[in-house]
Amino acid sequence: MQKEQILTFSKEEILESEQRFRAKLINSVAGIRQVSLIGTKSKDGQENVAIFNSLIHLGSHPPLFGFISRPDSVERDTLENIRETEYYTINYVNETLASHSHQTSARYPKDTSEFEVVGFSPEYVNNCIAPFVKEAEIKIEMKLQQILNLEINNTILVIGSVEAIHIPSTRLSEDGLVKGDGLLLSGGLDAYYKGVFLEQLPYAKP
C-alpha cells in the first residue's frame, strides 16, 4: 500500500499561489462551518439576502453573535443595510437548499432582490423590520451593537445581539441544545455539507 503523500505549504508559497487557489485553500482549511443566510432591508425598502459562513458565538449573557464582512472598498449591500437600519436576520436552511443559498453570493445590482432571483421567500415575523427566509428551519432576529474595523486586513466584524429565536420544537432539546441535523454547512467558498448528529456528552469534570 502506497504511503499517502503529505503536502506542505509555507506562508511564502501560500502568498505566491494563484489567487483563487489561495482563497479556497485558506477558507476551507479553516473547517466546516454553519451556513448563515443574512436577511436585510435598506432604508428604501429593498430586500437583500446573502450567504455567510463566518458566524461567531461571542457570549450568551447577553446573547451576542458576530460575523465577518469583507472590506467595504466595494459595495456591500448587507453591511450597508445593517448600518442604515441596525436590524438583520440570521437563517439556517437544510441541505436541500444548497444551490439556492450559494447563488445569493453572486453580485447582483443593489436594486435586485436576491430573494426573488434565487427563489427564496421573504417573511416578516412580529415587529422585525428585516426579512427572514421563509424556507429556513431556524430564524434569528438580530440588532446591531458594534462594528469593528480590523486593521490587519481591512475586514469588518459586525456584532449583534440576539433579539429573538424562532425554532421548531423538534429541533430543541429540553436542556437547550439546538439540533443541527441536516442543516446546510459549508467548507470554503463553494463546497457544501450537511450536519450529522454523533452524540451528546455529559458536562466534563476533572
What cell does 156 get? 469588518
Domains of the chain: 31-194 (2.30.110.10)
- Tell me the pLDDT of the chain (206 aa) as tens digits: 778 899 999 999 999 999 999 999 999 999 999 999 999 999 999 999 999 999 999 999 999 999 999 887 667 899 999 999 999 999 999 999 999 999 999 999 888 999 999 999 999 999 999 999 999 999 999 999 999 999 999 999 999 999 999 999 999 999 999 999 999 999 988 999 998 989 999 999 99
Task: Output the pTM of the full model.
Answer: 0.93
Sequence-distant (≥ 6) Cβ neighbours of residue 116 within 8 angstroms: none
